[in-house]
Amino acid sequence: MSEYVRPRDLHEALALRAEHPDWMPLAGGTDLMVTANHKVAPIGILDLWRLDGLGSIHVEQGVVAIGAGATWLEVQRHEVIAQELTPLAAAAREIGALQIQARGTIGGNVGTSSPVGDSLPVLLALDATIEVASAARGRRRVAYSAWCTGYRQTGLAADELIVALHVPLPSRGTRTMWRKVGTRRAQSISKVMGAAAIVLDGDVVTSARIALGAVADRPIRIAAVEAAVVGKSRAQAAEAARAAVRATIKPIDDVRSTSAYRLAVAENLVARFFMA
């Protein structure tokens, strides 16, 4: 039988995490419970669902701070996120069905760090920062671009918890986009998904952040595309982006899709970001 503790606040949760680094933090449980019957039961469960101090979303000085415990429903319904962080709101609307969106959290998506985690390319394209905390060392922030260290591996230490995601509001004139391609339009796991933040001066691209998911062991930004498009018109940038994707990524091959299909979709998806 596993131990089970539901801390009252973050302070208590961090103390328990330090004391029991081998216990499993549980938020909505929508990732963890899927395979629960086929795995050895964890020694203990640290239940973070609805923990005080982990769920709030607030905007301060041009940055949206999203508590790790915020659900996808809360993310998509937040007024500022819906209006200003449209790729994140769009990804939130496409994560599973309503039941999953009401229970699954952003911290859980980032904690699992699956290559098909839909929010992850968005966090890369929007240049997010992740805030973690431990009882011993307090809070620290990590650029999301440095967070994923391998297949389902992250920079979270054994005594830390994810506290929040900080997402800067895009500057006026930045176009942000999100696109997910799966087996069908709704309720599917991504074959390829991506997000973009593109800055234009008239029709000319001045900078771009382009991220893809489900093509590698972790979500990736594609520096070759970002370099190839600067100074080009949108039409030229779309073709340069297509060529750069083809030259630089070697998508994974698995039960959901072949590498060749993923490559073709990734090329089209990224090219279309520049024509949207």
Count of Cβ atoms closer than 10 Å to residue 238 Cβ: 20
Count of Cβ atoms closer than 10 Å to residue 184 Cβ: 6
Per-residue binding string, ligand FAD, 22-61, x by CB under 6 A, is --xxxxxxxxx-x-------------x-------------
Rounded CA-CA distance 210/95 in Å is 20
CB of 172: closest distance to ligand FAD in angstroms? 29
Alpha carbon 157 to its chain's center: 19
Per-residue binding string, ligand FAD, 188-227, x by CB under 6 A, is -x--------------------------------------
CB of 104: closest distance to ligand FAD in angstroms? 3
CB of 74: closest distance to ligand FAD in angstroms? 12
- Plot region of 202 (φ>0 → left; ψ -120 to 50 → alpha; else → beta): left
Rounded CA-CA distance 15/5 in Å is 12
Rounded CA-CA distance 76/121 in Å is 16
Nearer Cβ to ligand FAD (93/234): 93
Does residue 70 belong to the site contacting ligand FAD (CB under 6 A)?
no
Alpha carbon 225 to its chain's center: 20
Count of Cβ atoms closer than 10 Å to residue 155 Cβ: 15
Residue nearest to ligand FAD (CB): 108
Nearer Cβ to ligand FAD (107/205): 107
CA nearest to 27, candidates 51, 10, 7: 51
Of 73-92, binders to ligand FAD (CB under 6 A) are none
Per-residue binding string, ligand FAD, 135-174, x by CB under 6 A, is --------------------------xx------------
Interface positions with ligand FAD (CB under 6 A): 24-32, 34, 48, 68, 95-96, 100, 103-105, 107-109, 111-112, 117-118, 161-162, 189
